[in-house]
Homo-oligomer: A and B are copies of this chain.
Amino acid sequence: MERHFDACLDSLKHLLLSMSALAEQMIADAVKALVERDAAVLPRVYEHEERVNQLQKDVDEMCFTLIALHQPAAADLRFILAASKINTDLERLADQAVNICHKAERLITQPPVKDFAIIPEMAVIARGMVKDSLHAYVNRDVDTARDVIMRDRRLNEGKVAVTENLAQVMMANPAAIPRALDIVLVSHNLERIGDHAKNIAENVIFVVQGKDVRHYAPPAAGDKAAGA
């Protein structure tokens, strides 16, 4: 029975790592489409979204079954309840990649807006946070989790910088306003991906140390943790 439980926990971790890998690829593809003005990668994002949605249901069902059948002890129960929360954050951050795609589809049919180098930089940070938050969870690695939480500030700063830069672009060139607005919103999408990764990392600390670090993060630039 116990060996079966351990095997189920391993499957749970693998499902979450698969979701994370899909979501990381979705973020990379969405931003590639936007920056390189290349629509060819967009269908893959929508395919990955379908798989993430299915995995979300599988993970929730597995969490339910694990608790109902095995009545796990305290430490394992916290680990499974965290999986259930991480599952939600992964699906929602993958949705943010889809939202970036919608804007990329509109933007690449129109004249390019002035250079916006901060967006790809933000995407790299966001993907790294997602990847590392999941590895922190499966390895119960508090140091990495804390590092993910610290990195969130850089995305908040990126969002503020993009918003301020693009407001200048809009004032100088009112015809570019609808396009510039879309890019501002992309920076918000990326910042929210970071928020979800931060939420995942906070769960890791709770699982390992039993310490609830939510609402104790250092104040960050811009808006509340959950986004803009």
- A residues with a Cβ closer than 8 A to B are 53, 56-57, 60, 63-64, 67-68, 71, 74, 77-78, 81, 84-85, 88, 91-92, 95-96, 98-99, 102, 163, 167, 170-171, 174-175, 177-178, 181, 184-185, 188-189, 192, 212, 214-215, 223-228
Which residues of B lie under 8 Å from residue A102 when comparing CB positions?
A: 223-224
Whose C-beta in chain B lies nearest to the C-beta of A212?
Answer: B57
Cross-chain pairs A/B with CB under 8 angstroms, 11 sampled: A60-B212, A67-B67, A67-B81, A68-B77, A81-B84, A95-B225, A95-B227, A99-B224, A171-B177, A177-B177, A185-B228
Which residues of B lie under 8 Å from residue A170 when comparing CB positions?
A: 170, 174, 177
Q: Which 6 A-B pairs have the closest CB atoms?
A: A95-B226, A95-B224, A92-B226, A53-B215, A171-B174, A99-B223
Which residues of B lie under 8 Å from residue A74 when comparing CB positions?
A: 68
Number of copies of chain A assembled together: 2
Majority SS of interface residues in chain A?
Answer: helix
Q: Which listed residue (B167, B174, B178) contacts A181, Cβ 8 A? A: B167
Q: Which listed residue (B53, B71, B189, B224) contacts A214, Cβ 8 A? A: B53
| Cα A130 to Cα B95 with chains together (Å) | 21
Q: Are A178 and B174 in contact (CB under 8 A)?
A: no
- With contacts A171-B177, A181-B163 taken as known, whether A228 is within 8 angstroms of B188 at the C-beta atoms is yes
Q: Are B57 and A214 in contact (CB under 8 A)?
A: yes
| Cα A4 to Cα B75 with chains together (Å) | 24
| Cα A13 to Cα B226 with chains together (Å) | 24
| Cα A84 to Cα B88 with chains together (Å) | 11
| Cα A192 to Cα B224 with chains together (Å) | 13
Which residues of B lie under 8 Å from residue A163 when comparing CB positions?
A: 181
| A154 CB to nearest B CB, Å | 19
| A224 CB to nearest B CB, Å | 4
| A76 CB to nearest B CB, Å | 10
